[in-house]
Amino acid sequence: MQATQVNPFQLQLHSAGYIRVRWQPGRTISETDAHAVTDAITALTPAAAPAPGLLVDMGQPTSISAGARAVFLTARGAPRVALLGNSPMDRVMAAFALNSDTPTQFFLTETEAITWLTAN
């Protein structure tokens, strides 16, 4: 597993074929943060390999800016995105992402998220 630390998130490329994004807990995710994470994901993704899915550990954000939402909704490349939250409030904050063209699901357990993400 290869890891890259870039504040305010950490990326890990897992051998199971997905990238895990961990946001710092309690963060307000800005448009700048959204661009930084999408750029870092692109840099971490092996060029010759199929695009990996994303497991996004939301970290109970305090808010996600409108600019960040726009960046996330227009980002391309991941075949699937599993959003991992801890509460019904995380589900509310993640609701915008369910409108993405990329298949996206919200989960409260890591096991369910990884099972869905790695299913063929």
pLDDT of the residue at 10: 93
Q: Is the residue at 40 inside a domain?
A: yes
**Average of pLDDT values for 92-115?**
93
Q: What is the CATH number for 22?
A: 3.40.50.10600
Q: Is the residue at 60 inside a domain?
A: yes
Counted domains in the chain: 1
Q: Is the residue at 8 inside a domain?
A: no
Q: Is the residue at 7 inside a domain?
A: no
Q: Which domain holds residue 55?
A: 13-118
Residue 106 scores a pLDDT above 70: yes
Could you please report the per-residue DSSP string of the chain? -EEEEETTEEEEEETTTEEEEEEPTTPEEPHHHHHHHHHHHHHHS-SSSPPPEEEEE----SEE-HHHHHHHHH----S-EEEE-SSHHHHHHHGGGGGSSS-EEEESSHHHHHHHHH--
Q: Is the residue at 90 inside a domain?
A: yes
pLDDT digits (tens, 9 = 90+) for 10-68: 999 998 889 999 999 988 999 999 999 999 998 888 676 777 899 999 988 899 999 99
Question: Given pLDDT bands bounded at 50, 70 and 90, which one contains residue 120?
Answer: low
φ/ψ of 101, rounded to 5, equals -70, -20
Q: Is the residue at 2 inside a domain?
A: no
Q: Is the residue at 18 inside a domain?
A: yes
0.85 surpassed by pTM: yes
Mean pLDDT (the chain) is: 89
Measured CA to CA in angstroms, residue 66 lies from 34, 88, 93 at distances of 11, 20, 11
